[in-house]
Amino acid sequence: MVISEKKPIEEVLGFLKNAEKVVLVGCNLCASTCKTGGEEQLIEMKETLENEGKKVLGYKILDPACNLLKCKKDLKALKEELKEADAVLSLACGDGTQTVVKNLKNKPVYPANNTLFIGEVERVGQFEEACKACGECELGWTGGICPVTMCAKGLINGACGGAKNGKCEVSPENDCAWIKIYERLRDIGQLDNLLEIRPPKDYSKQNNPRHLNLNKKEETANA
């Protein structure tokens, strides 16, 4: 899940300083779960903007915002409002906001949220970062605990030695990732995994922006 939080309203109003008529869009997946882009948040934003003298022409929860073709279809419901609008405010994540931009080439689109990380829902309203999408997953030999994400230094070949009382020296509120990895491997009988020296991360696999074309892969496989 893509975790996001609301931007300060002052920043949002700064984006919209030259816009009188605004259309709002949200997302029914990640942003709704994070309470940054569901219907409740869209209505709240509508009321806030109207109190600031803006005219909100309409709003739509996209299903989801990050699906290019589905987003294009959903935005058709706001066709007339979008023609009249001075700007669009997106209450989706950064991905969803950029997807809206691609579908509205001649209309300014502004973000209402800050995108934080890919993470998991610990419980309602609580989220933890889980993956940096490094393109070269290490979970197979670390017992399912990611050293790239969970270790503040992103170390691949064991702990730095700076942990104290099981806590990270960089972020003392966090558990040392490598102690957790050691304990997990011990519990599942795979401590031998720590004996192998791992090569440096291939950061060319994070050569942004990255692309994946499943159709092209199938064509290559069938050639």
What are 86-96's pLDDT values in tens digits? 999 999 999 99
Residue 28: how many other CB atoms lie within 10 Å: 17
pLDDT at 212: 83
Residue 157: how many other CB atoms lie within 10 Å: 12
Q: Give the confidence band of 223 by pLDDT, cuts at 50, 70, 90.
A: low
What's the topology of domain 2-116? Rossmann fold (3.40.50)
pLDDT at 216: 76
Q: Give the confidence band of 163 by pLDDT, cuts at 50, 70, 90.
A: very high
Given a cut of 90, is residue 58 above it in pLDDT? yes
What are 133-148's pLDDT values in tens digits? 998 999 999 999 999 9
Given a cut of 70, is residue 218 above it in pLDDT? no
The residues spanned by each domain of the chain are 2-116, 132-206
Average pLDDT (2-13) is 98
pLDDT at 217: 62
Q: Is 39 left (phi over 0), alpha (psi -120 to 50) or beta?
A: alpha
Cα distance between residue 131 and residue 128, in whole Å: 10
pTM: 0.88
What is the SS3 assignment for 219?
helix
Amino acid at 94: G
Q: What percent of the chain has pLDDT above 90?
A: 87
Average pLDDT (180-187) is 97
Given a cut of 80, is residue 206 above it in pLDDT? no
Tokens of residue 107, six digits: 């209309």
Q: Give the confidence band of 11 by pLDDT, cuts at 50, 70, 90.
A: very high
Alpha-carbon distance values, 120 to 131, 204, 208 (Å): 9, 26, 24
Given a cut of 90, is residue 214 above it in pLDDT? no
